[in-house]
Chain A
Amino acid sequence: MEAKHSNKIFLSLIFASLVMVVGLFFYNALHDPANEPVIPNIDVPAVKAKIKDAGLVPVEAKYYKELK
C-alpha cells in the first residue's frame, strides 16, 4: 500500500517536471527576450522639458503603429 502510494507521488513528480520542461521549451522558442521591450523608468515631463530647452519641436512621424 505504502509502496504504491509513493510510486504515485514519484510518477506525478516526473509528469509535472516533464510538463515544465516542455512548457519552458515552447516559451523560449516563442519568446525572444531581445524582442521584449524593457519597461523603462522614464521621467516623461523631464524628457519633454529637455527637448523644449534645446529648442526642438516634436512633429508627428510617419510609419508607426500602436501595439495591442
Chain B
Amino acid sequence: MAKPKIIQCLLCPKECKLYDGQRGDCRVRIHLDGKLQTLVYGRPCAVHIDPVEKKPVYHLLPGSQAFSIATAGCNLHCKFCQNWEISQKNPEETVNYFMPPKDVVNNALTSGSKSIAYTYSDPNIYYEYVLDTAKLAKKAGLKNIVISAGYINPEPLKELSEFLDVYKVDLKAFNNKFYQEICSATLQPVLETLKNLKKLEVWTEIVNLIIPTLNDDFTEIRKMCKWIKSELGNDVPIHFLQFYPQYKLNNLPPTPLETLTGARKIAIEEGLNYVYLGNIPQGEGNNTYCPNCKNLLIERIGYFVKEMRINNGLCNFCKFKIAGIWG
C-alpha cells in the first residue's frame, strides 16, 4: 500500500504535519487533495468599525477608525481568550460573511476608516486573506494593522511586512512555562517576531495582559522591559492591560490597579518612553507624554482622544520627534 501523503504547514512555529482531510492546530488550514488549503479566505465571521485606540494602537492616527475583520480559528489556545467564541471554533461553526479582499477595502473606504485592522482571533492563520487585502488596501491609501500574538515564522512575516504599517504583538508573558501551559505555544518565536519586526522597520506596539498569580511577578516584568529596551529600543509603546475573569480563567480576580501602576512604574524606570495602561477608564496611563519635556501630548478618555498636541510628528511644546505614524 502506498504511504499516505503528509503535508507540513510552514506558516507558524507549530509546523503541523497533516494527512489528507486533517486540519492544523489553528482549525482553518487543512490538507485536501494533496494541497494545503485555507478554509477562511474571504470569509470573515467578525466585521466591525472600531476606534484604533481599542486595538490598542496609540501611535497611529489617533482618533481614527479602523475597519476590523477576523475569521474563525487561532494557532494559540489561551485560557483567558476574550474572543474564544470565534478563535476556538472551526469555521463551520461560526456565521461567516462573504467578503473578498476588494470588498473589505471598499467597505473600509466607504465607512471613512483610515485603516484596516486584522484582529480579534489571530490574523496569522488567515494569512493569505490578510496578504491580498493588505496589498489592495495599501494601493487605496489605507493603513494596515495586524493585531496578533506574533506566533508566525520569519519568512511569511517578511513577505507580509512589506504591506504593513503596524504590528501589535500580544506578548503574553516573559515566561516560556506560561506560554506552554496557558497558551499552548512557546515564548522564543514571539521574541524572534519582535526582533524581526524591528529589522523590517514595521511600527510595533506591545500589549501585556497582566493576570493575577500567573504573570504578575514584578521581577519578570522588569526583565521583559529590559529586554524590550535592549532589543527593540525605548520608543516601542507597551500597554499593560487589566485582566477580567473569562473563558477558562474564571476563577481569578481582575488585576488590582496597584499591580498595573506598579508595572508601569517599572517600565518607566527601565527607560521605556511610552507606557500605557489599558482596560481602565481614565488617568495618566491612558495618555501620551513627551519623553523630552514631559508635557501631556495626547489626552484619552477610554478609547476617545480628547486633546492632541502633536504636529507633523513633533511635540507642540519642545518640537521633540514623537515616534509613531501621525499623518
Q: Which of A39, A50, A67 has the most CB of B within 10 A?
A: A67
Minimum C-beta distance from A48 to chain B (A)? 7
A22, CB-defined interface residue at 8 Å: no
Query: Are B36 and A61 closer than 8 Å at their CB atoms?
Result: yes
> Which residue of chain B is the closest to A42 with respect to CB atoms?
B21
Nearest chain B CB to A53 CB, angstrom units: 8
Residues 111-139 of chain B: 1 if any A CB is under 8 Å from the residue's CB, otherwise 0?
00000000000000001100100000000
* Contact (Cβ within 8 A) B19 A42: yes
The 5 closest A-B pairs by CB, nearest first: A58-B37, A42-B21, A64-B36, A44-B21, A54-B92
Which residues of B are in contact with A by a Cβ distance under 8 Å?
Answer: 4-11, 17-22, 29-30, 32, 34-43, 91-92, 96, 98, 127-128, 131, 153, 155-156
Are B37 and A60 touching (Cβ within 8 A)? yes
A-B contact pairs, 20 of them (CB 8 A): A37-B17, A37-B19, A40-B21, A43-B21, A51-B30, A51-B39, A51-B92, A58-B38, A59-B42, A60-B36, A61-B9, A61-B11, A61-B29, A63-B11, A64-B8, A64-B9, A64-B35, A65-B7, A65-B10, A67-B17
> Within 8 Å CB of A51, what residues of B?
30, 39, 92
Pick the residue among B38, B43, B98 that contacts A61 (CB under 8 A): B38
Q: How far, in angstroms, from A62 to B39 measured CA to CA in the complex?
A: 13
CA distance A11 to B159 in the complex (A): 62
Q: Which residues of A contact B7 (CB under 8 A)?
A: 64-67
Q: Is the CB of A63 within 8 A of B10?
A: yes
Taking a contact as CB atoms under 8 Å apart, the answer to whether A40 and B22 are in contact is yes
